Amino acid sequence: MKYVGIQTQIRRNNVMSVLLLLMFPLIILGTVWVFLAILNFFGTGTYDAYGNVQHQLDLATVNSYFVSTIPWVILGVGVWFAIAYFSNSSMIQRATGAKPLTRKDNPRVYNIVENLCMTCNMDMPKINVVDDPQLNAFASGIDKKSYTVTLTTGIMDLLSDEELAGVIGHELTHIRNRDTRLLITSIIFVGIVSTVMSLVVRIMYNTLWYGGGSRRSSSDGKGNGLSVLVVLFVGLICCAIAYFFTVVTRFAISRKREYMADAGGAELCGNPLALASALRKISGDPGLDHVNREDIAQLFIIHPDQMSTGIMGFMDSLFSTHPDTAKRIEILEQF
């Protein structure tokens, strides 16, 4: 693997962060335009000489409505992103059930983190622990105040000092390379689209079973109920397309970042074989599957094998940012 210095990696991640910040809003705005265009095309029509309905897209009307919605879309996405961006630490902590760990709670783990930070001359991040007998770890945060390394109780109990140092070194490298900031940016935007999709599905369900046209006595009422369902269905299709493109865009976050973090962890602990051994143990019993959040699972050192279920889980695993664990171990054993 071609060597890439840490400063080069940081610059690449900063550029990718900016591109993601631009790409995701563009995808959302593009979806809004497509939604308006479809409604315009099928919502209006004229009859020809044979009595058939002829649909035609009125671009001027679509663009007019689109321009008027742009400020609202940007405002909504901006507010949502700002809230999620600055509350990401508490959100991840609640989702994983993590609790702070101090030197008094576990001097062994605290000292390993502190020594590794001194080795690479970086500020000490927060340390969190999740009560999970299985093994996993991840880094999170967007700045020095929120950078955190989270470990399960299982990984602390079952790994040797050298193996644990390799894992922690891997997570510290993610922080040093600004990988966590990049991943959290993508998590927020994918979360916006998936939440809107869930909302549309819920509204469709309620409209169909509780508020549809069948409850109305007049034919006009039934027509209105059907129209609502059609609009919601079009919205759902557009959201699904947007979700696909946001997941693909997240896939653009190169899997080489995990290889870079492995290399950094091996360098910090001074023993590549120890990190390879740790990855082998973690892959045999990966924890944190109770989190049930594929977006947050992208942060984990190894993806839980019992988390991906359903179409969303299949899509997320298909475009996972993590490379094959066996390949990672093979590369580390070649050092």
Q: Are 179 and 16 in contact (CB under 8 A)?
A: no
Q: How many C-alpha atoms does 105 have within 13 Å on its Cβ side?
A: 11
**Single-letter residue type at 166:** G
Q: Are 247 and 315 in contact (CB under 8 A)?
A: yes
Residue 316 host element (H or E): helix 310-318
Question: What are the tokens at 219?
Answer: 């034919």
Taking Cα atoms as reference points, which of 64, 55, 56 lies closest to residue 36? 64
Q: How many helices (H) and strands (E) does the chain have?
A: 13, 6
Q: Are 176 and 268 in contact (CB under 8 A)?
A: no
Give the Cα separation of 134 and 202 in Å (integer): 35
- Residues with catalytic roles: 171
Q: What is the per-residue DSSP string for 189-229?
A: HHHHHHHHHHHHHHHHHHHHHTSSGGG-SSHHHHHHHHHHH
CB neighbourhood size of 43 (10 A)? 14
Q: Are 219 and 53 in contact (CB under 8 A)?
A: no
